[in-house]
């Protein structure tokens, strides 16, 4: 349970960091409303689901502890790097999501969200790195993590779509976002350091 809470916290805080997917949701919601943007949200969640399934199933096929340790070492280094990037990030929501972008349909937005998620290399790298830190988890637990992460991605994106449909919630998020990013950077960095320590311990046995 402790591992689940740590993984869930690290994943959720990383999810809060605005990126291409985030601003696509904001733009679509502001221009066409949250119902239309829900297609984008589902598409992004499906793309994340593909990466989660690929990363976790690939990890389950590796049966060498040393190979897993090296993968975990690489994943830990990437998470530490991500934590540093989060800590140093300067993000603004000013001007994002305003203006019309043309007639949009739910299915079109579903396609846009899926493409955005699949073409974002950070999604793939993050889930591979996260999976590498879970080398000791059972297949059943990995499946639970995967379902949880997919659900949280979808729930958070829908929340953003609903909230960003008006200026006031967007302005509030803009004020609290810098602090959220700092906290996320620290948590992800600590998670990476823990993975590095575990990998080094395995390799030195």
* pLDDT for position 89: 65
* pLDDT for position 86: 67
Can you tell me whether residue 93 is helix, strand or coil?
coil
Among 14-18, 143-147, 153-157, which is the least confidently predicted range?
Answer: 14-18
- What does pTM read for this prediction? 0.68
- Structural domain harbouring 192: 2-203
* pLDDT for position 95: 46
Distance CA 32, CA 49 (A): 25
Q: Alpha carbon of 150 to those of 8, 9, 34, 36, 147: distances in Å?
A: 11, 14, 19, 20, 5
Mean pLDDT across the stretch 5-20? 77
Q: What is the pLDDT of residues 86-130, one digit of tens each?
A: 677 665 555 444 444 444 588 989 998 898 888 776 777 788 778
Taking the mean position of all CA atoms in its chain, how far away is CA 79? 12
Distance CA 201, CA 26 (A): 43
Record the tokens describing residue 92, joined without a space: 């603004």
In 3D space, the residue among 38, 14, 12, 10 whose CA is nearest the CA of residue 24 turns out to be 38
Position 43 confidence tier, pLDDT thresholds 50, 70, 90: very high
**Secondary-structure breakdown of the chain: helix, strand, coil percentages, each rounded to the nearest 5:** 80, 0, 20
Please count the structural domains in the chain: 1
CA atoms within 13 A on the CB side of 87: 12
* pLDDT for position 9: 79
């Amino acid at each position: 349970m402790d591992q689940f809470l740590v993984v869930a916290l690290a994943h959720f805080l990383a999810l809060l960091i605005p990126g291409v997917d985030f601003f696509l949701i904001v733009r679509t919601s502001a221009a066409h409303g949250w119902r239309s943007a829900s297609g984008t949200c589902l598409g992004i969640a499906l793309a994340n689901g593909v990466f989660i399934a690929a990363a976790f199933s690939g990890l389950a096929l590796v049966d060498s502890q040393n190979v897993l340790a090296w993968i975990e070492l690489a994943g830990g280094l990437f998470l530490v790097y991500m934590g540093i990037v989060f800590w140093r990030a300067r993000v603004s929501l000013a001007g994002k999501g305003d203006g019309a972008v043309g007639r949009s349909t739910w299915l079109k937005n579903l396609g846009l969200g899926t493409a955005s998620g699949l073409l974002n290399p950070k999604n793939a790298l993050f889930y591979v790195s996260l999976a590498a830190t879970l080398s000791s988890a059972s297949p059943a637990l990995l499946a639970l993590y995967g379902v949880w992460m997919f659900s949280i991605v979808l729930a958070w994106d829908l929340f953003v779509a609903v909230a960003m449909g008006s200026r006031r919630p967007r302005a509030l998020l803009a004020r609290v976002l810098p602090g959220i990013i700092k906290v996320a950077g620290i948590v992800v960095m600590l998670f990476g350091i823990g993975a590095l320590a575990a990998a080094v311990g395995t390799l030195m046995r």
